[in-house]
Amino acid sequence: MDSYLLLKSLHLLGVVLFIGNIVVTGWWKVMADRTRNPAVVAFAQRQVTLTDWVFTLGGSMLVGIAGLVNALVHDIPLNTPWLLWGGGLFLSSALIWGLFLIPLQIRLGAMARAFAGTDTIPEEYWPLSRNWLLWGTAATLLPVAVIPVMVFKGV
């Protein structure tokens, strides 16, 4: 098999895992929060964290590594405009994830473990959850915007 196509396939698998997870995870968390049921919210919060470690991180690593290796192996200059734009948008999403979403998820996860077996969710949970949704939306839209950049490649 052609190494370009193999690496491109791994890159695309990473895209599917990464973007698929961030969209679906956001949906399930929002829907769980809407129930206002402590057990449901706590369960969803735990799954957000787990799926981020497996699918978001795993998918993003596949995207980055396979894309970079493909560019290097096949002499695609790293300063090619579509690579710069795609990489910049992707890295911007990663920065939001690292600077805002992970700390929020840690706080929300700790709170969820504490209220999982109770009848109420503390009021301080809700503003943090809204911040998670805000930053999560930004972190989702950025890599979604990469798709046409990478597909059309400045055409």
Residue 96: per-residue pLDDT: 97
Alpha-carbon distances of 31 from 24, 26, 44, 106, 119, rounded to whole Å:
11, 9, 9, 20, 18
Residue 82: per-residue pLDDT: 95
pLDDT below 50 — which residues of the chain? none
Whole-structure pTM over 0.85, yes or no? yes
Matching residue, tokens 């709170």: 111
Residue 35: per-residue pLDDT: 98
CA triple 140-128-101, angle to 5 deg: 35
Residue 21: per-residue pLDDT: 96
Residue 155: per-residue pLDDT: 65
Alpha-carbon distances of 76 from 79, 92, 148, rounded to whole Å:
9, 22, 18
Residue 41: per-residue pLDDT: 98
Express the helix, strand and coil content of the chain in percent, nearest 5 each. Answer: 85, 0, 15
Residue 1: per-residue pLDDT: 65
Residue 141: per-residue pLDDT: 97
Q: Select from 50, 49, 84, 55 the least CA-distant residue to 67.
A: 84
List, as own/partner pairs, every contact residues 91-95 make where C-beta atoms lie below 8 angstroms and the sequence separation is at least 24, other chains included. Answer: 92/142, 93/138, 93/139, 93/140, 93/142, 93/143, 94/60
CA R_g for the chain = 18
- Token pair in block for residue 79: 């300063």
Q: Are 21 and 51 in contact (CB under 8 A)?
A: yes
